A and B are shown apart, each in its own frame.
Chain A
Amino acid sequence: MFQEYYTAVLTEVHSNERLKAVTNFQHLSDPILKERALKKWIFIEAVNAYLAKNGENRRGYVEFIYDALEQMKPLEVHRDLDCYKALISIFPKGMMIPQNVWQHAFSHYPKQQDCMVEILEQLEHFGVIPDTKVQDAIEEIFGTMNNPMRKYRRIYYMTRKFQNRNPYKLPYDLPVDPIQLAVLALRKMAVDLENELKVWKVSRDENSKEKLFIASAQSPLQREMIHTHPESKPIYVEGGYRVWLRDIPQTYFVMRTDTDPSIFVRPTEEEELENLFDFDTIFDSEKPKQLALKPNVHQQEEGTILGMCITETSCKDSLISWIRCLQEANPRLESIPIVFSLATPSKQALVLRSEGMQPSQQSTNSPDPS
């Protein structure tokens, strides 16, 4: 039912010149942002159109609201508080407030209350924080003591308390620019406090003019480790790992090398007792045992991480460009052998062809040249 109103408004916008000018959104430069703003505008206009058409006698508005709620995610307005407020404004005001004890005791207008609770539930699910205007609206519609109000109060209390608890908090509206998304992801993943993020723009090959970005994260400690890396051991570029920014996946690649297992060896209890209080401090000798190498934050038992990157096209060529860009600051990379072992992320995994029902040749260890 909601679909009809939506499509109606959509065709109006495309045909009507005046509406086109209104929905131009000149202050937004990015076409994706314009599209989102347009969808939000049409959503709210669809609701207004429904209200205009049906006036006071809105029969079946509950079904309409359920339809609209389902449509919010595909239309990408599920994180927008204004759209939820628009849906809440469909409820008639004053009519459903309980007047006597019996109406208070039993859920007055249960179907409508459940519908309101559904709206609030969807709102909570997508991490939208309501504001006091929603509370005023619920009070006008249902009164002060009822299920939607309880739900609302709980959402308001809990989500406000927890809104800053995430140590890796992302901005409410994720940026559209893939470079900014990559930077956000790398910043989230970086453990070293001295980590440095660099973004390079590299052209695909000599002929094409378009430049693709490579976002890379490396810290001075990792640079030092590359500097002292022996030329006999290879460095692996492993990849196709996925990290999520709320609901947007980013594919990242890691430059890794094997760790020397001896640095994880702890002295056994007998050894410790033998050498108990045999302090060899920084004041006694030049190279005291106290300063023996402790594994640093990048050295793990599975391997030492020497760098991370996110590229626009997660293909092998872009990774080769990445290594070339890194060679500026890490000249040793030219002499150390680099092995690529890439696994394509599941989005680009097996493609079944219809004839013969055979999977196409995309094994996990060879690069995907697409």
Chain B
Amino acid sequence: EMLLFPELDKYEDVEHLNELIAPVERFFTENVDSQSIDIEGEIPKELIRQLGELGLFGQQIPHEYGGLELDATGYARMAEVTAMDASVAVTFAGHQAIGLKGILIAGTREQKEKYLPKLATGEQLAAFCLTEPSSGSDAASIQTRATLSEDGKTFHLNGGKIWITNGGIADVFTVFAKTEVTDEQGNREDKMTAFIVERAFGGITSGKPEDKLGIRGSNTCEVHFDNTPVPIENVLGEVGGGFKIAMNILNSGRFSMGSSGAGMLKKLIGFAAEHAISRTQFKEKLMNFGLIQEKFSTMAVTTYAMESMAYLTALNLDSYVEPDLSVEAAIVKVFSSEGCWNCASESLQVLGGLGYMKTYPYERYLRDARILMIFEGTNEILRLFIAMNCLKYAGKELKEFQKLLRNPLKNPSAMFLFMRKMSSRKPKKVMHLNEELHPTLQHEAWMLEQWTQYLEKAVQKLLRQYGNSIIDEQFHLKRLADMAIDLYAMTACIGRTSRSLCMGLKNNDHEKTMTQLFCKEAVHRLENNFEAIMSGDQSNGDDLRRQIAEKVFTEHGYAASHPLTKNKF
């Protein structure tokens, strides 16, 4: 059932979406000068106004408040277009994907009526304030405090946040601060709470915009709160419930990175292909050389996988009521960010020296792509998130079984049955996935089923070996996450190809070849990860890695003697 690539219900829906996209695309190609935005380090106010007129500041806001009310699919499609200029895309993301998402998700009717209309037109911009100097990935360790006043009607915010997108130009902030909460037993605890803070409340100062490597047009700065009064009506959700809101906000915006990355890469592949077709070296066109062909195939396949995953996630988000696709969204984000970085680098490489020069946009795309791996949850944290969530699920299913395995002598007969079952190491064709797909994809379906079963084996082995402390074994968690990412990507690609083949879309045989190549490469990676997990810390090098890292830290740097060293004696 997962392999049935979902789609929009009617042809008219697709048409309608395309009509919405077309003027935006025209606008971006003609009116947005990415190069000058990058050099100046600023998006001109006029441009922001024009983007607001197009309605792009309220993509997910309901019609009644003046927004476009795009669902997840529409939002993903729009992200493909806005990705043409990364600074603009990030400004949008900072404004709507995280900035006002809190109001959308957890706001009361009054809060929505008060803030969303102005935010939808772009008259006011929103920002999301969570990160502080001492807490980036560790969101729960923030130190900004909100103290309740004597009369219980106002909170006073004190603290500082750094690296806030739109921090200098926003008027509405979603701020997270620690408040003292008394629970039922009367214990006092510090818990995080979300507030909607307007700049007009006073006491808010923003620093000057930071000089960044990429997305230079987006306004990133420090925001300080000095006894800012926040009325109690502006608390988002309930007092003490800020952590969950923060997690929900962050989880809901991630999947669009897949489609925005795909949009950017499609353009880059286009430019680079033009170059490869026309450029001649050694009396041959570049496109005839194998190394160049390899680069283009990698780029195409990565883009295909990114797109497929992003839209699979987006369409599933729309098809089900209250879906929890946070793990899938995280997978999309990790794959897309790394794919974008690598493919932007490759496309620059195709151009060689020309790609390195500022006259061409490749270096700007490369610099803009670097941030994708860092913001919206660093890739490392997301890998842990993917792995831990999967382990939680697996652990629930396997709890009884694992109890048995950890104490084999307590229940010998069950142990014996288990040993018989485990003796067959090879996966069996149980799922019959090929029946749901186009017949040419049988081999890929079998690979998918096989490796899913191998993943189950790996998970069982790790749970059996480490028990509860598996959450500290980050070397293994990373491998599990990588396996999960590859499997999800394979699912998405196979599903989409099957649909294309059945429907007779243009170039569907090309899609089939891309899926075949992707599955081949993915299986290669899966094999490596599986072997590394099963063979244990001594064989897969983890022991060595720990030792090397420990030595580097003890020596405060690189520890080996210089190759030219001679002893005095």
Residues of A near any B CB (own CB < 8 A): 129-131, 159-160, 163-164, 193, 272-273, 275-279, 281-283, 285-287, 290
Query: What is the CA–CA distance of A268 and B538 in the complex, to the nearest angstrom?
Result: 28
**Cβ contacts under 8 Å, A275 to chain B:** 468
Nearest Cβ on chain A to B480's Cβ, whole angstroms: 13
Q: Is B395 an interface residue (CB 8 A)?
A: yes
B567: which of A163, A193, A278 is its contact (CB, 8 Å)? Answer: A163
A286 & B191 in contact (Cβ 8 Å cutoff) = yes
Query: B residues 470-521 with Cβ under 8 Å of A?
Result: 471
A sample of 14 cross-chain residue pairs with beta-carbon separation below 8 angstroms, ordered by A number, consists of: A160-B567, A163-B567, A164-B567, A273-B407, A276-B406, A277-B396, A277-B402, A279-B388, A279-B392, A279-B471, A283-B247, A285-B243, A286-B192, A290-B471
A282 & B553 in contact (Cβ 8 Å cutoff) = no
A286 & B140 in contact (Cβ 8 Å cutoff) = yes
New contact pairs (4) apart from A163-B569, A276-B395, CB-CB < 8 Å: A131-B569, A159-B569, A275-B468, A276-B468
Task: Name which residue of chain A comes closest to B388, CB basis.
Answer: A281
**Cβ contacts under 8 Å, B554 to chain A:** 193
A277 and B399 in contact, given A160-B569, A272-B467 (Cβ under 8 angstroms): yes
Consensus secondary structure, chain B interface: helix
**Cβ contacts under 8 Å, B553 to chain A:** 193
Q: Is B403 an interface residue (CB 8 A)?
A: yes
Query: What is the CA–CA distance of A272 and B463 in the complex, to the nearest angstrom?
Result: 13
Query: What is the CA–CA distance of A172 and B406 in the complex, to the nearest angstrom?
Result: 54
Query: What is the CA–CA distance of A160 and B403 in the complex, to the nearest angstrom?
Result: 54
Q: Is B391 an interface residue (CB 8 A)?
A: yes
Q: Is B426 an interface residue (CB 8 A)?
A: no
Q: Is B534 an interface residue (CB 8 A)?
A: no
**Cβ contacts under 8 Å, A287 to chain B:** 140
A283 & B385 in contact (Cβ 8 Å cutoff) = yes
Query: What is the CA–CA distance of A286 and B398 in the complex, to the nearest angstrom?
Result: 26
Query: What is the CA–CA distance of A98 and B399 in the complex, to the nearest angstrom?
Result: 81
A277 and B395 in contact, given A160-B567, A282-B140, A290-B471 (Cβ under 8 angstroms): yes
Q: Is B29 an interface residue (CB 8 A)?
A: no
Q: Is B389 an interface residue (CB 8 A)?
A: yes
A273 & B406 in contact (Cβ 8 Å cutoff) = yes
Nearest Cβ on chain A to B287's Cβ, whole angstroms: 46
**Cβ contacts under 8 Å, A159 to chain B:** 569
Nearest Cβ on chain B to A37's Cβ, whole angstroms: 20
**Cβ contacts under 8 Å, B471 to chain A:** 279, 281, 290
Q: Is B556 an interface residue (CB 8 A)?
A: yes
Nearest Cβ on chain B to A208's Cβ, whole angstroms: 39
**Cβ contacts under 8 Å, B243 to chain A:** 285-286
**Cβ contacts under 8 Å, B398 to chain A:** 277
Query: What is the CA–CA distance of A287 and B392 in the complex, to the nearest angstrom?
Result: 18
Complex interface bits, B392-430 against A, C-beta within 8 A gives 1, otherwise 0: 100110110011001100000000000000000000000
Nearest Cβ on chain A to B551's Cβ, whole angstroms: 10
Nearest Cβ on chain B to A281's Cβ, whole angstroms: 5
Query: B residues 225-256 with Cβ under 8 Å of A?
Result: 243, 247
A277 and B468 in contact, given A285-B243, A287-B140 (Cβ under 8 angstroms): yes
**Cβ contacts under 8 Å, A129 to chain B:** 569
A283 and B388 in contact, given A272-B467, A273-B406, A277-B402 (Cβ under 8 angstroms): yes
Nearest Cβ on chain B to A187's Cβ, whole angstroms: 12
A193 & B556 in contact (Cβ 8 Å cutoff) = yes
B391 & A277 in contact (Cβ 8 Å cutoff) = yes
Query: What is the CA–CA distance of A164 and B561 in the complex, to the nearest angstrom?
Result: 11
A276 & B399 in contact (Cβ 8 Å cutoff) = yes
Query: B residues 135-152 with Cβ under 8 Å of A?
Result: 138, 140
Query: What is the CA–CA distance of A275 and B468 in the complex, to the nearest angstrom?
Result: 8
Q: Which of B192, B396, B399, B471 has its CB near the most chain A CB atoms (within 10 A)?
A: B471
Nearest Cβ on chain A to B34's Cβ, whole angstroms: 35
Give 3 nearest A-B pairs by CB, closest first. Answer: A277-B395, A129-B569, A286-B140
Task: Name which residue of chain B comes closest to A167, CB basis.
Answer: B554
Nearest Cβ on chain A to B138's Cβ, whole angstroms: 8
Query: B residues 457-471 with Cβ under 8 Å of A?
Result: 463, 467-468, 471
**Cβ contacts under 8 Å, B406 to chain A:** 273, 276
**Cβ contacts under 8 Å, B399 to chain A:** 276-277
Query: What is the CA–CA distance of A286 and B467 in the complex, to the nearest angstrom?
Result: 23
Query: What is the CA–CA distance of A283 and B243 in the complex, to the nearest angstrom?
Result: 9
Q: Which of A129, A159, A163, A277 has its CB near the most chain B CB atoms (within 10 A)?
A: A277
**Cβ contacts under 8 Å, B191 to chain A:** 286
Task: Name which residue of chain B comes closest to A267, CB basis.
Answer: B468
Query: What is the CA–CA distance of A277 and B392 in the complex, to the nearest angstrom?
Result: 7
A272 and B468 in contact, given A277-B399, A285-B243 (Cβ under 8 angstroms): yes
Query: B residues 272-287 with Cβ under 8 Å of A?
Result: none
Q: Which of A159, A278, A279, A283 has its CB near the most chain B CB atoms (within 10 A)?
A: A283
Q: Which of B399, B463, B468, B553 has its CB near the most chain A CB atoms (within 10 A)?
A: B468
Query: What is the CA–CA distance of A272 and B406 in the complex, to the nearest angstrom?
Result: 11
A277 and B388 in contact, given A286-B191, A286-B192 (Cβ under 8 angstroms): no
B569 & A277 in contact (Cβ 8 Å cutoff) = no
Nearest Cβ on chain B to A161's Cβ, whole angstroms: 10
Complex interface bits, B374-396 against A, C-beta within 8 A gives 1, otherwise 0: 00000000000100110110011
Nearest Cβ on chain A to B235's Cβ, whole angstroms: 17
Query: What is the CA–CA distance of A298 and B471 in the complex, to the nearest angstrom?
Result: 24
Query: What is the CA–CA distance of A278 and B467 in the complex, to the nearest angstrom?
Result: 10
Nearest Cβ on chain A to B326's Cβ, whole angstroms: 9
**Cβ contacts under 8 Å, B389 to chain A:** 283
Task: Name which residue of chain A comes closest to B247, CB basis.
Answer: A283
**Cβ contacts under 8 Å, A286 to chain B:** 140, 191-192, 243
Query: What is the CA–CA distance of A160 and B568 in the complex, to the nearest angstrom?
Result: 10
Complex interface bits, B51-83 against A, C-beta within 8 A gives 1, otherwise 0: 000000000000000000000000000000000
**Cβ contacts under 8 Å, A276 to chain B:** 395, 399, 402-403, 406, 467-468
Query: What is the CA–CA distance of A277 and B396 in the complex, to the nearest angstrom?
Result: 7
**Cβ contacts under 8 Å, A283 to chain B:** 247, 385, 388-389
Query: What is the CA–CA distance of A305 and B151 in the complex, to the nearest angstrom?
Result: 46
Query: What is the CA–CA distance of A282 and B389 in the complex, to the nearest angstrom?
Result: 11
Query: What is the CA–CA distance of A163 and B567 in the complex, to the nearest angstrom?
Result: 9
**Cβ contacts under 8 Å, B138 to chain A:** 282
Query: What is the CA–CA distance of A164 and B402 in the complex, to the nearest angstrom?
Result: 48
Complex interface bits, B36-62 against A, C-beta within 8 A gives 1, otherwise 0: 000000000000000000000000000
Query: What is the CA–CA distance of A272 and B407 in the complex, to the nearest angstrom?
Result: 12
Query: What is the CA–CA distance of A279 and B398 in the complex, to the nearest angstrom?
Result: 13
Nearest Cβ on chain A to B123's Cβ, whole angstroms: 35
**Cβ contacts under 8 Å, A278 to chain B:** 395, 468
Query: What is the CA–CA distance of A32 and B132 in the complex, to the nearest angstrom?
Result: 55
Nearest Cβ on chain A to B170's Cβ, whole angstroms: 26
Task: Name which residue of chain B comes closest to A131, CB basis.
Answer: B569
A279 & B467 in contact (Cβ 8 Å cutoff) = no
Query: What is the CA–CA distance of A163 and B192 in the complex, to the nearest angstrom?
Result: 56
Query: What is the CA–CA distance of A28 and B191 in the complex, to the nearest angstrom?
Result: 64
